[in-house]
Each structure stands twice: as structure tokens, then as C-alpha cells.
Structure 1
Amino acid sequence: MHDVTVPLYRAAHGRTGDKGNRSNISVIAWHPELWPLLLAQVTEAAVAARFAHRQPTRVTRHVLPRLQAMNFVLDEVLDGGVNDALNLDSHGKALSFLLLELPIQVPAALLPLLAGPPLEQPD
């Protein structure tokens, strides 16, 4: 069986917040069986690369296995903070959508667990 590339939002949903110039983004698996692949692929390095254009000074991942969730803290990523930024879209909430577009690899056997319309199983 082959893996299929899908955006992260098919396997997880997110919650976000911001405080000053720091954003936090939680990623929560839609199904417990998807948790191991999220843990393996949605790493600090992957998130740092996804936000490289925002130049975070540090990305920290906090893993919450009982919830099949993780929380990422991105430092110095909000253009000085919501109240200081000239960027109208500097809230941490807007950044979750960027992370949820992260491409991930899902084994064909797990495709029925993804949110959204069914995907075609590869041959």
C-alpha cells in the first residue's frame, strides 16, 4: 500500500492563541489512530520550516499523548505583537491555518479516518 499526501487539517484540527510576540498553536488528532503519524511528522523542525518566513526565534513542541494533541509555542513570530505590528494579520489565530495546510503522508489504510470527503485509495 502507498502513502497519500494530504494537508494536516484532514488528520487534525487546531486551536490557537497569542500573547505579546508569542503564538501557540495546538494540533489535535481527529482520530487516535492518526496520532502516531502526527507525532512523527509534525515536529519542531517541520513547524519551524513552515514558519521560516516569519522568522521565529524558537519553536517548542509540547506533547500531550493522552489527548492525542501537541502544542507548539512560536517565539518572536507576531511582528512585535498584535498591538505593535503594522501587519493586519498578525494574530496567532491566523497562523493556525498556515500550519494546518502542512502536507503530511498518510498510509492508505488510514484514509477512512481522515476528515472531509473520502479520498481515493491508491493502487
Structure 2
Amino acid sequence: MKLRAIAHSRTGDKGNISNISLIAFDEADYPHLVRHVTAERVRAHFTGIVHGRVTRYEIPSLGALNFVLEDALGGGVTRSLALDAHGKGLSSALLDLDIPDPVEDA
């Protein structure tokens, strides 16, 4: 299943760093996100886009994960000629990640 079936996402940026939040629609699905959406999986999902480290922060009280993607915006907003210099499309791309269905994974 696609990640977008159980979560939504928002992005932000600072220089050449993208920040992607991933929030479970239902807090009961949060442990599933923690198990299957690792920093390593996110880094692999963005191969060719993210050239630096990916760090994951867990926020259980919000049922959310926060990913910090370094060297991810082609030099940053003021230095990139990319159409999506702020990296807003990265949230949609993350939600396209395939993960096991929570019911089948239990």
C-alpha cells in the first residue's frame, strides 16, 4: 500500500535542507510508521535527490515523524534553478512510498 493511505505530510526548507513531517491520520497507525518508514528507507526513496544525511525524529505525542534531509534542494532556494526550489513536492513523493498494509503486517 502507499504511505498516503494512512498518513499526510508537510514540508519546509532552510537553505539546502528539507524538513518533511509525516503524520498518521489515526494514531493507532503511528507504530506502523515508526517500524516501516526509517531514515534509511527515506534516504533510499530519494536517491539522486538527497545527497546528504537523513535524520528521523519521532514525535509520539503527535503521531508524527519528522525527517531532516540534508543537501536536498540543489543548493537551496536562492541557489537552485529547480522548479521546486523549496522542495514542497517532496512531501507528495514521500507519500508514494510503498509500505506493508498494517492489517497484513500485524
TM-score with structure 1 setting the length: 0.80
Counterpart position of 2:8: 13
SS in 2 for 1:96: helix
* CA deviation vs aligned residue, 1:27-74 (integer Å, no higher than 9, x gap): 000101111110000000000001111133100001001111010000
SS in 1 for 2:10: strand
CA–CA separation in structure 1 for the residues paired with 2:104 and 2:41: 24
Unpaired runs of at least 5, structure 1: 1-5, 111-123
Does residue 103 of the first structure (1) align with residue 95 of the second (2)? no
CA–CA separation in structure 1 for the residues paired with 2:14 and 2:80: 13
1:15 CA drift (Å): 1.2
TM-score with structure 2 setting the length: 0.92
Does residue 90 of the first structure (1) align with residue 85 of the second (2)? yes
CA–CA separation in structure 2 for the residues paired with 1:87 and 1:103: 26
- Structure 1 residues 51 and 109: alpha-carbon distance in aligned structure 2, compared to 1, 3 A threshold: closer
Q: How many positions carry a matched residue from both structures?
A: 105
Percentage of identical aligned residues: 49
Structure number with larger C-alpha Rg: 1
1:20 CA drift (Å): 0.5
Unpaired runs of at least 5, structure 2: none
User: Which runs of 4 or more aligned residues in structure 1 lie more than 3 Å from their structure 2 counterparts after TM superposition?
Assistant: 107-110
1:107 CA drift (Å): 3.3
More strand by share: 1
CA–CA separation in structure 2 for the residues paired with 1:61 and 1:43: 7
